[in-house]
Structure 1
Amino acid sequence: MSTAHPPFRAHQRTLRSLVAAIAQGEAGDVTDILAAVTPGGGKSLLPVIAAAQLIPAGRIERVVWVVPRDSLRLQAEEAFADPVWRRALGHGLSLRAADNEPDPARGLSGYVTTYQAVAAAPELHLAEALRHRTLLVVDEVHHLPMPATRRGEAPDEDEAGAWSRAMRPLLAAAAFRLLLSGTLERADGRRILGLPYHPVRTGAPPEIDLDAPGLAVIGYSRAQALAERAVLPVNFGALDGEASWLEGGRAAGQSRVGPHRLSAGGVRVTTRPALFTALRTGFASELLGEAFHATRRLRARRRLERGLGAHEAAPGLGKLLVVAPDQASARRYLGTLRAWMPAAQGERDVRLATSSAQDAAGALAAFRLLPEPAILVTVAMAYEGLDAPEVAVVAALTHVRSRPWLEQMLARATRVDPHAGPYSGQQALVFHPDDPLFARFRAELETEQGHATRPRPDRPASAENPERVIWRDEEPGGITPLESNALGMRYAMLRPRIPDPAEGAPARGATPSRASLQAEPPSLSERALRQRLSAQVAAQAVEDEANLRMPRGGSLVHRYNAVLKRALGKGRAVMTLAELEAALAWLERNRLSDHAHLIEADARYAWSERQRRGRWMPERAAGG
């Protein structure tokens, strides 16, 4: 097995140099690092790079990594546990996914939590930051709007506002701050908490002060990532169509509108209702079918190249991510996809991850880490931060058109898959409605990469050159979708401007599989040890009852759990990894029945203990 590690990218090399200077006291004025890294560019390694140098140098004692969703906590743990990067960076640090319980780090180098958890228990996390010199990692910092501060402004009542209010004192208490984001703008145009801004100018958007004292900025654009082959080129499949709907209130009567073309960029008033209708009627099934069959063809081709059987599961075959406009549509898409497969295969291969779905976290984990399922249907849970390099196809069945959101969604398919063969043979395939606002987004990406020239301002508005309009992401009201259909597909490859022939494609198999190398994250290790302790306690209870060492009846397992807690002086729920391992070793050497006296004074177990000591005799029970 190869021990070589993947190459450090430009932003990762820059951070290593900066952190080394901080560790050596050569950049003592830097306390804030802003890393603006294109989605999919590898920013999850940055906290590991920073901690691997700052902790040994004594500049910090602990890492607190805050993420926007619970599904991202395990990925943060994995970043520190990855043995490839442990060898490359020479570190042995571990973080654990923590809830709002005391001592969230449990003797490790720090912990990972969520914005929601900080908002629910701000005092707990603030006390931790004040107790230790802390590196605070704020992941996807653009989720935090600057709280209302002007006189007369009402305080924010939404979830993001609550997050910001709870995070503000935590930011102030940390010794160092590492702010991560794939975008430095919010869809609502508000300033971002923790970032310095130039004074507000009337009519001008907020402008970050990149030269603010104590701030170091590290950038990594999509053009750089493509040049370094850190992300994949994108092939857009734009599907045009037409839609009809009813419009108007019930009192006034509803009138039929349409059919209207999705790509009719000059008719702005119909763009939103046409897209809203298309995503909930026949057009959606047509686009979904295009993405589904493209994924099947890709997986069949890769199976053939590897000599695999028609239904043989293997990593690197390619997966499909379906992003729906709402949960009802997501459930409908799920049913449609499963109907296109045999029943057993549909249940196995297609999963749903929405906030109301049962076991959404399990569906996300299986989609990330296992060869099957091959299709995941979601709304917004998986679009940001989902580290699933096998995603090769995206069905963008969403009405959202804010650029940060679309960039994050696009990045789910642009990660390089180490199991999918040479870089030159991989690309992301994104199917989307051919509406003018998505065309605008694509044109801006092409311009920034130098692949296309800026459109001339005197050209008429069209799907190729849409008007710049303000797009509000909420759904249009007062319409009833009737029908829609697809008209035609066109493809456009978004490639890097300058190829890099000097850098060879990564050899097949050069990067070991995550499944074979990944060290278990601390929270999973804790869970496994607790389960082993529970099994050992239950086994001793069953053995003692069978051998007449203890009376039958009641809950002997419950009593033995109490004995174990008294013997060890601490419950399993608050033990560190080392303490859990020590508890398991103690239990393997000792019988809990020999320590039952520890709970004699507990009224909850007094009756059963009196039986054990006097009223119940083993030889009498055996008939002796």
Structure 2
Amino acid sequence: MSAPSRPLRSHQRSLFELVAALARGEATGIADILAAVTPGGGKSLLPVIAASRLIAAGLVDRVVWVVPRDSLRLQAEEAFADPAWRSALGHSLSVRAADNSPDPSRGLAGYVTTYQAVAAAPALHLAEMRRHRTLLVVDEVHHLPALADGETGSEAAAWSSALLPLFREARLRLLLSGTLERADGRRILWLPYRQEGGAPVPDIEAPGWAVIGYSRAEALAEKAVLPVNFGALDGEASWLEGGRTSGQARVGPHRLSGPGPSATTRPALFTALRTGFARDLLREAFYATRRLRAERRRKRGLTAADAVRGLGKLLVVAPDQASAQSYHAMLQAWMPEEQARRDVRIATSAETDAHAALAAFRLTPEPAVLVTVAMAYEGLDAPEVAVVAALTHIRSRPWLEQMIARATRVDPHAGDYADQHALVFHPDDPLFAQFRARIETEQATATRPRKRPTGAASPEPRPLARETDEGIVPLESNALGLRYAMLRPGPSVAMARKEARQAAAEPAPVPPSRVERALRARVAAMVTAQAVEDEAELRRTGGAPLPHRYNAVLKRLFNNKSRAAMTVEELEAALAWLERNRLQDHLHLLDGDSRYAWSVRRRWAGAERRPGQ
């Protein structure tokens, strides 16, 4: 088997050589391939390499590629249809983005589906796996929790339950991920584990497994990804804190860049993302993108009216849908009306044309600006993204790595590699600073012991909680100063592992009661945040106050336990569920519920008595 004519990256060459060995019968005993590739490093070609070689060798008949979101199905189809790679690899395979209709492959070499689709029709997909010798490709496998860890009732657990029989039935499995850890500390489905430093880590030397790694350092050395320039914007924020029983007091102003994470870090960040600071950071990113596009037009001798690829685009990541709408309106207000309609789009789950907006942003010269919340941060293949406005509250390392990777892809239309870099504007808070320091020292995708977090799967700021005693009400914020820091390569993997072990061996003592209080407050805040968002979007269906209804729904979902009665593990599970699901979609659980009706009557009776007290 000759090597492809088009150059491959080191991890792509490794997979090519591995499947060639499988085809020759030399790599016996290998049934699972794990590709741990740094975000933006080019995972999407790996299924094409594997499928084209293995089908040609007669080891498998079909490929089934499972992705976490519907928006990624089209990109998977494009990977197989890319004419340059079809020529370089000498293949003519095609796959189709399938729904749950019968015969999903329709005579092609396979199909692409989603976790959600498999969970909705597991028998259909299992029958397909049994009908053909199948290469199963699971994209972003870290989204799937190991069922042995006891997670039940969540959407992710349902995905794992539906996909596990497919894992068992597949002839070969190719598992793809940009991170070998879940933010909630749970094991990943199907991966083998061993104990290291008292913590479970993936066993990369397990029998029957082949592991292909591609670190950020390797990707930078091969010019597969772009260096990152961080624009950290400092600011200060003020808010009201307290609830109905204790009254509200003004807090602040507090600097975002205060010394180390503290009790004010998340409230200040939450306030900043919804007040004047957000406008200031968005403006910095907007004008940086405009300057970049003007400079590239000048170098290429283009006029302002020329719509061409490679000028650079701006991705805005908002903390919630209401903020996304606000940012979208701000951006449009800074442009002439016609240009605003052409250049600025929004893609959230509430928008009916979200997938069309994503496709246009990826594949056409215009629009040049996309505002989103989460649906475009992971796996979005849009090499023209050069600037990211990181107006997000999430501070988990895997999530942030995925976000900045949207701008680190090399744009083939933008000229020389040396003239490109990613520019990420972000709040200069200690939590983001910690993330930036970590990715500077953790330059490789490596397994290592880690301290289990005491919070949710993706740490959240305290959302708007006007109906809770623990809540805050944002007042005002403003930007103070901007500084830039170019991402530099860090120490070796061995040093990063040593530092991680030391950090894991010296956890800061936290009293259990404080952990429980903090988790209860965050659950309450997240419930109220969903209620506020849904009321703002006119999704309310009438009846009792929405926060009360949502709290009742959450209680029903978690064995009728109140937050006060939940254990730490149950509170963590509730946080993880709230991060992935909307309570609005489960209001039917209250239909005909006499306990809920009784609590509503009591609440309304109390409300009627209070004015006359």
TM-score class normalised by the smaller sequence = 0.7 to 0.9
Per the alignment, residue 178 of structure 1 pairs with 174
Give the Cα separation in 1 of the matches to 2:453 and 2:256. 16
Matched-pair contact (CA < 8 Å) for 1:388–1:412: yes
Look up the SS of the partner of 2:193 in the other structure.
coil
1:165 equivalent to 2:161? Answer yes
Matched-pair contact (CA < 8 Å) for 2:184–2:453: no
Give the Å deviation of 1:213.
1.1
Per the alignment, residue 185 of structure 2 pairs with 189
Per the alignment, residue 486 of structure 2 pairs with 493
Per the alignment, residue 460 of structure 2 pairs with 474
Higher-Rg structure is 1
Look up the SS of the partner of 1:275 in the other structure.
helix
Alignment of 1:570-585 (within 5 A): none
Give the Cα separation in 1 of the matches to 2:425 and 2:80. 34
Matched-pair contact (CA < 8 Å) for 2:74–2:97: yes
1:36 equivalent to 2:36? Answer yes
Matched-pair contact (CA < 8 Å) for 1:189–1:205: no
CA deviations over 1:360-409 (Å, ceiling 9, x no partner): 00000000000000000000000000000000000000010000000000
Give the Cα separation in 2 of the matches to 1:44 and 1:205. 31
CA deviations over 1:123-156 (Å, ceiling 9, x no partner): 0000001111000000000010112x36xx5x52
Give the Cα separation in 2 of the matches to 1:248 and 1:486. 25
Look up the SS of the partner of 1:185 in the other structure.
coil
Give the Å deviation of 1:448.
3.0
Look up the SS of the partner of 1:43 in the other structure.
coil
Do the aligned partners of residues 409 and 56 (structure 1) sit closer, same or farther apart at CA in structure 2, a change above 3 Å counting? same
**TM-score, scaled relative to structure 1:** 0.74
Greater Cα offset, 215-224 or 258-267? 258-267
Matched-pair contact (CA < 8 Å) for 1:265–1:435: no
CA deviations over 1:332-357 (Å, ceiling 9, x no partner): 00000000001111111000000011
Per the alignment, residue 62 of structure 1 pairs with 62
Give the Å deviation of 1:359.
0.5
Q: What amino acid is the match of 2:21? A: A
Give the Cα separation in 1 of the matches to 2:405 and 2:198. 29
Matched-pair contact (CA < 8 Å) for 2:261–2:431: no
Give the Cα separation in 1 of the matches to 2:415 and 2:339. 26
Give the Cα separation in 2 of the matches to 1:128 and 1:57. 21
Give the Cα separation in 2 of the matches to 1:194 and 1:88. 33
Per the alignment, residue 258 of structure 2 pairs with 264
Q: What amino acid is the match of 1:493? A: M
CA deviations over 1:552-581 (Å, ceiling 9, x no partner): xxxxxxxxxxxxxxxxxxxxxxxxxxxxxx
Do the aligned partners of residues 470 and 278 (structure 1) sit closer, same or farther apart at CA in structure 2, a change above 3 Å counting? farther
Do the aligned partners of residues 475 and 444 (structure 1) sit closer, same or farther apart at CA in structure 2, a change above 3 Å counting? closer
Look up the SS of the partner of 1:206 in the other structure.
strand
Cα-Cα RMSD: 1.8
Matched-pair contact (CA < 8 Å) for 1:227–1:496: no
Q: What amino acid is the match of 1:243? A: A
Give the Cα separation in 1 of the matches to 2:418 and 2:461. 40
Give the Cα separation in 1 of the matches to 2:5 and 2:24. 26
Give the Å deviation of 1:494.
1.2
Per the alignment, residue 218 of structure 1 pairs with 212
Give the Å deviation of 1:470.
6.0
Matched-pair contact (CA < 8 Å) for 1:233–1:496: no
Per the alignment, residue 604 of structure 1 pairs with none
Q: What amino acid is the match of 2:417? A: Y
Per the alignment, residue 510 of structure 1 pairs with none
Matched-pair contact (CA < 8 Å) for 1:15–1:218: yes
Give the Cα separation in 1 of the matches to 2:231 and 2:327. 19
Give the Å deviation of 1:256.
0.6
Matched-pair contact (CA < 8 Å) for 2:394–2:461: no
Give the Cα separation in 2 of the matches to 1:265 and 1:346. 40
Aligned length: 473
Greater Cα offset, 164-173 or 472-481? 472-481
Matched-pair contact (CA < 8 Å) for 1:63–1:134: yes
Q: Which sections of structure 2, spanning at least 5 residues, go unmatched?
A: 445-451, 466-470, 492-613
Give the Cα separation in 1 of the matches to 2:190 and 2:399. 21
Q: Aligned to 1:384, which of 370, 378, 394?
A: 378
Per the alignment, residue 367 of structure 1 pairs with 361
Give the Cα separation in 2 of the matches to 1:5 and 1:72. 27
Give the Å deviation of 1:446.
1.5
Identity of aligned residues (%): 74
Give the Cα separation in 1 of the matches to 2:479 and 2:460. 24
CA deviations over 1:444-499 (Å, ceiling 9, x no partner): 1222349xxxxxxxxxxxxxxxxx9966523415111110000000000114579x
Do the aligned partners of residues 6 and 65 (structure 1) sit closer, same or farther apart at CA in structure 2, a change above 3 Å counting? same
Per the alignment, residue 226 of structure 2 pairs with 232
Q: What amino acid is the match of 1:196? A: P
Alignment of 1:124-139 (within 5 A): 124-139=124-139
**TM-score, scaled relative to structure 2:** 0.75
Give the Cα separation in 2 of the matches to 1:132 and 1:360. 35
Matched-pair contact (CA < 8 Å) for 1:37–1:219: yes
Give the Cα separation in 2 of the matches to 1:369 and 1:185. 31
Give the Cα separation in 2 of the matches to 1:280 and 1:408. 23
Give the Cα separation in 2 of the matches to 1:475 and 1:444. 20
Look up the SS of the partner of 1:177 in the other structure.
strand
Matched-pair contact (CA < 8 Å) for 2:261–2:430: no
Give the Cα separation in 1 of the matches to 2:361 and 2:153. 34
Look up the SS of the partner of 1:118 in the other structure.
helix
Look up the SS of the partner of 1:87 in the other structure.
helix
Per the alignment, residue 425 of structure 1 pairs with 419
Alignment of 1:594-605 (within 5 A): none
Give the Cα separation in 2 of the matches to 1:470 and 1:245. 26
CA deviations over 1:40-72 (Å, ceiling 9, x no partner): 101100001001110011100000000000000
Greater Cα offset, 440-449 or 215-224? 440-449
Look up the SS of the partner of 1:44 in the other structure.
coil
Give the Å deviation of 1:438.
0.7
Per the alignment, residue 350 of structure 1 pairs with 344
Matched-pair contact (CA < 8 Å) for 1:353–1:364: yes
Q: Aligned to 2:301, which of 298, 307, 315?
A: 307
CA deviations over 1:309-343 (Å, ceiling 9, x no partner): 12321100000000000000000000000000011
Matched-pair contact (CA < 8 Å) for 2:37–2:215: yes
Alignment of 1:510-525 (within 5 A): none
Look up the SS of the partner of 2:263 in the other structure.
helix
Per the alignment, residue 610 of structure 2 pairs with none
Give the Å deviation of 1:209.
1.0
